[in-house]
Chains A and B, each alone.
Chain A
Amino acid sequence: MRAWSECRDEELVSALAGDDLGALHELYRRHAPWLSVRLSRRCSDRDAVADALQDCFTAAWRGSARFRNDGEVPAWLWGIAVRRLVSRLRGRPEAVLPLGPWDGASEPSAEERVLLGVEYGDLGAALARLSPEMRAVVQATVLDGLSNKETAQLLGIPSNTVKTRLHRAKAHLRHELAGGIS
Chain B
Amino acid sequence: MTWHIDDRALESYVAGTADSASGSSAEQHLVHCAGCRERLAVLVPGDLLDRAWTGVLEDVQAPRPSLVERMLCRLGVSTDQALLLWTAPAFRAPWLAATALTVAFVALAATTSDTRGLVLFLVVAPLLPVAGVALAYGPDADEAYEITTAAPASALRLVLLRTVAVLVTTLPLIVVAGWLVPGQEGLAVTWLAPSLAAVTATLAASTWTSVSRAALAVCVIWGVLVVSVAGPGFASPTTAIAPPNIPWYLVLAIVCVVVLWRRGGRLHQLGGIS
Contacts and interface: CB of A to CB of B under 8 A. Distances in A.
B49 A36 contact: yes
A78 to B, nearest CB: 7
Contacts of A99: 20
B21 A124 contact: yes
Interface string B233-269: 0000000000000000000000000000000000000
B180 to A, nearest CB: 42
A129 to B, nearest CB: 13
A38 B27 contact: yes
B56 A24 contact: yes
- Number of contact residues on B: which range applies? 20 to 34
Interface stretch (B36-44, B73-81, B123-131): B36-44
Given A54-B52, A104-B19, A104-B21, A33 B40 contact: yes
Contacts of B41: 29-30, 33-34
B56 A57 contact: yes
Contacts of B64: 62
A32 B52 contact: yes
Given A33-B40, A54-B55, A139 B24 contact: yes
B20 A102 contact: yes
A101 B55 CA distance: 34
Nearest to A50: B52
Main DSSP-derived SS at the B contact region: helix
B195 to A, nearest CB: 41
A36 B48 contact: yes
Contacts of B32: 72, 74
Interface residues of A, number: 43
A62 B34 CA distance: 24
A37 B14 contact: yes
30 contacts: A24-B56, A24-B60, A28-B56, A33-B37, A33-B41, A33-B49, A34-B30, A34-B44, A36-B49, A37-B14, A37-B40, A38-B27, A41-B27, A46-B48, A50-B55, A53-B48, A53-B52, A54-B53, A57-B52, A58-B60, A61-B60, A62-B60, A74-B30, A100-B19, A101-B19, A103-B19, A112-B21, A124-B21, A135-B20, A139-B24
Interface of B: 13-14, 16-24, 27-28, 30-32, 34, 37-38, 40-41, 43-44, 48-49, 51-53, 55-57, 59-60, 64
